[in-house]
A and B are shown apart, each in its own frame.
Chain A
Amino acid sequence: MIKLNRLKSLIWLRWQYLMSNKGLLYIGIGMPIGEMALLSLIPNIHGNAGFLSFSLNFVYSITSGSFISLMIGEEKEKKNLRTLILSGVKMKEYTFSVIIFPFIFSIISCIYFPLLFGVHISSWPVYIFIIVSECLFFILANLSIGLFSKNQVQASLFTLIIFIFVTLLPILLELTSNELIKNIIEWSFIGINTKYFIELEKFQISNISTISILLWIFGMSILTRYAFAWNRKEHN
Chain B
Amino acid sequence: MIKFKNITKEFKEKKALSNVSFNVNEGDIFGFLGPSGSGKTTTINILTGQILQDSGQAFILGKNSTDISSDDLLSIGIMSDTVGFYEKMSLYKNLEFFAKFHNIPNEIIDDLLKKLDLFEDKEKKAENLSTGMKQRMLLIRAILHTPKILFLDEPTSGLDPTLSLKVHQILFHLKNKGVTIFLTTHDMNEATKLCDNIALLYQGEIIEYGAPKDIINKYADDNKVVITFQNGKEITIPKEETANYLGEFITSIHSLETSLESIFIQLTGKKEEK
Partners in one complex: yes
Chain A residues in the interface with B (C-beta under 8 A): 5-6, 8-10, 12-13, 16-17, 20-21, 78-80, 82-83, 85-90, 232-234
Given contacts A5-B103, A82-B84, 15 further A-B contacts (CB under 8 A): A6-B101, A9-B97, A13-B86, A78-B85, A80-B84, A80-B86, A82-B83, A83-B85, A85-B73, A86-B50, A86-B78, A88-B70, A88-B71, A233-B50, A234-B50
C-alpha spacing A5/B85, complex, angstroms: 21
Given A88-B71, A232-B49, is A8 in contact with B100 using a C-beta cutoff of 8 Å? yes
Q: Which residues of A contact B52 (CB under 8 A)?
A: 233
Instruction: Contact check, B82 vs A87: say whether CB atoms are below 8 A apart.
Output: no
* B84-132 with Cβ < 8 A to chain A: 84-89, 93, 97-98, 100-101, 103
Q: Which residues of B contact A89 (CB under 8 A)?
A: 70, 101
Instruction: Contact check, B101 vs A83: say whether CB atoms are below 8 A apart.
Output: no
Residue of A8, A82, A83, A87 with most partner-chain B CB within 10 A: A87
Instruction: Contact check, B84 vs A87: say whether CB atoms are below 8 A apart.
Output: no
Instruction: Contact check, A88 vs B73: say whether CB atoms are below 8 A apart.
Output: yes
**Which B residue sits closest to A21, measured CB to CB?**
B88
Q: Is B237 an interface residue (CB 8 A)?
A: no
Shortest C-beta distance, B123 to chain A (Å), equals 12
Secondary structure call for the A interface: helix
Shortest C-beta distance, B98 to chain A (Å), equals 7
Instruction: Contact check, B48 vs A86: say whether CB atoms are below 8 A apart.
Output: yes
C-alpha spacing A90/B85, complex, angstroms: 18
Q: Which residues of A contact B220 (CB under 8 A)?
A: none
Interface mask (B63-90 → A, CB under 8 Å = 1, otherwise 0): 0000000111110101000111111110
C-alpha spacing A86/B71, complex, angstroms: 10
Can you offer 20 A-B residue contacts whose CB atoms are under 8 A?
A6-B101, A12-B100, A13-B86, A16-B86, A17-B88, A20-B86, A79-B82, A82-B50, A82-B84, A83-B83, A86-B73, A86-B82, A86-B83, A87-B73, A88-B70, A88-B72, A233-B49, A233-B51, A234-B45, A234-B50
Residue of A13, A89, A232 with most partner-chain B CB within 10 A: A13
Pairs of residues from A and B, 9 with the lowest C-beta to C-beta distance, nearest first: A79-B84, A9-B100, A88-B74, A88-B73, A20-B88, A9-B101, A83-B83, A13-B97, A78-B84
Q: Which residues of A contact B72 (CB under 8 A)?
A: 88
Q: Which residues of B contact A83 (CB under 8 A)?
A: 83-85
Q: Which residues of B contact A90 (CB under 8 A)?
A: 70
C-alpha spacing A107/B60, complex, angstroms: 45
Q: Which residues of A contact B49 (CB under 8 A)?
A: 232-233
Shortest C-beta distance, B104 to chain A (Å), equals 10
Instruction: Contact check, B93 vs A16: say whether CB atoms are below 8 A apart.
Output: yes
C-alpha spacing A82/B79, complex, angstroms: 12
Given A9-B101, A86-B82, is A234 in contact with B51 using a C-beta cutoff of 8 Å? yes
**Which A residue sits closest to B138, measured CB to CB?**
A83
C-alpha spacing A86/B75, complex, angstroms: 10
Given A10-B101, A87-B101, A88-B71, is A17 in contact with B48 using a C-beta cutoff of 8 Å? no
Instruction: Contact check, A79 vs B83: say whether CB atoms are below 8 A apart.
Output: yes
Q: Which residues of B contact A82 (CB under 8 A)?
A: 50, 82-84
Interface mask (B43-56 → A, CB under 8 Å = 1, otherwise 0): 00100111110000
Instruction: Contact check, B82 vs A232: say whether CB atoms are below 8 A apart.
Output: no
**Which B residue sits closest to A90, measured CB to CB?**
B70
Shortest C-beta distance, B142 to chain A (Å), equals 9
C-alpha spacing A7/B45, complex, angstroms: 26
Residue of A5, A82, A88, A89 with most partner-chain B CB within 10 A: A88
Residue of B72, B84, B89 with most partner-chain A CB within 10 A: B84
Q: Which residues of A contact B88 (CB under 8 A)?
A: 17, 20-21
C-alpha spacing A10/B97, complex, angstroms: 7
C-alpha spacing A113/B161, complex, angstroms: 61
Residue of B71, B89, B98, B101 with most partner-chain A CB within 10 A: B101
C-alpha spacing A20/B226, complex, angstroms: 60
Instruction: Contact check, A234 vs B82: say whether CB atoms are below 8 A apart.
Output: yes
Given A79-B83, A80-B84, A233-B51, is A17 in contact with B89 using a C-beta cutoff of 8 Å? yes
C-alpha spacing A10/B45, complex, angstroms: 25
C-alpha spacing A234/B49, complex, angstroms: 9
C-alpha spacing A21/B89, complex, angstroms: 9
Instruction: Contact check, A12 vs B82: say whether CB atoms are below 8 A apart.
Output: no
C-alpha spacing A8/B87, complex, angstroms: 21
Instruction: Contact check, B87 vs A78: say whether CB atoms are below 8 A apart.
Output: yes
Residue of B45, B78, B86, B100 with most partner-chain A CB within 10 A: B86
C-alpha spacing A20/B128, complex, angstroms: 14
C-alpha spacing A169/B98, complex, angstroms: 45
Residue of A16, A20, A86, A232 with most partner-chain B CB within 10 A: A86
